[in-house]
Amino acid sequence: MALVLPDDAAARAAFLADHGAEVTAVVTSGRTGVDRTLMAELPNLGAVVNFGVGYDTTDIDAAAARGVSVSNTPDVLTDCVADTAVGLMIDTLRQFCAADRYVRAGRWVSEGNYPLTRQVSNTRVGIIGLGRIGSAIAKRLTAFGCRISYHNRRPVDGVPYTYAASTVELARDIDVLVVAAAGGAGTRHLVDREVIAALGSDGYLVNIARGSVVDEVALVEALAEGRLAGAGLDVFVDEPAVPEQLLTMDNVVLLPHVASGTVQTRAAMEDLTLRNLDSFLASGTLITPVPMPAPAR
């Protein structure tokens, strides 16, 4: 039997009191997750089955401590997210959305040609997070003649890209910074004021990862003050809220967290989510478990 957890606080408390002990698996998404408090209300929980590749909203440490397994849906969304990153980069540098608005407002007739923008091909691109999605982005941008460098916790063997030991070092030598790192406490504000300053007034930021990875306040300030050339953003800190200042900036492209939002990809994500759930209910194992930290002693 599938039960739906209510959103209303009072209804949720009543639901958990009545059904909390019955729940052995939870199906959730990267936007919702299962925090430590909810986990405590589910004494027989065995698995958190996540719809999406990101699982930073689920308390992995609490899950590990209780022996709760967690799964996500890797690989099936890699292509669409990488496509979105490249599309955002093109739109941000070439300002296609802004140029579209320019035409629709009749300004081509009244003001003349749209101002020149920045070339995409042959730019220097830095990628934070050279995992499945970051690697797919790099592959696509290589076809554009871009020079790729990257920052990871450690160098990746066998790749032809230049490794940077820190995010600041990466930002100093590129034109576009693409954020493809996982979310969570370990990557919060990985792109901070120092990184944004190193990217500089001619630099661009593209984020298809998590809003928390970028210091959003510092980003907005840099854009407003002309210390950053532009940004393409699919994710934000407090979704669906978007900083109001960004809404009027023509050098910023804003998407409503749609990087994996195609019919084909969402169907594949749904299929893998259900296969993980079926596998757990049948055998107690998950098809695509995420790495779990060792429980604290």
Collect all residues with Cβ–Cβ distance below 8 Å to 35 and sequence separation of at least 6: 57, 58, 59, 62
- Residue 41 falls in the annotated catalytic set: no
Whether residue 5 contacts residue 27, with contact meaning beta carbons closer than 8 Å, is answered with no
Q: What tokens does 116 get? A: 């020149």
Spatial distance between the Cα atoms of 65 and 67, rounded to a whole number of angstroms: 6
210, 216, 227, 297: which one is catalytic? 210
- Residue 275 falls in the annotated catalytic set: no
- Residue 151 falls in the annotated catalytic set: no
- CA distances in angstroms from 271 to 84, 186, 194, 274, 289, listed in the order given: 22, 30, 42, 5, 15
How many helices (H) and strands (E) would you count in the chain? 11, 10
172, 257, 266, 275: which one is catalytic? 257
22, 36, 111, 239: which one is catalytic? 239
Spatial distance between the Cα atoms of 158 and 204, rounded to a whole number of angstroms: 28
Cα-only R_g, the chain:
21
Spatial distance between the Cα atoms of 258 and 97, rounded to a whole number of angstroms: 16
Catalytic residues: 210, 239, 257
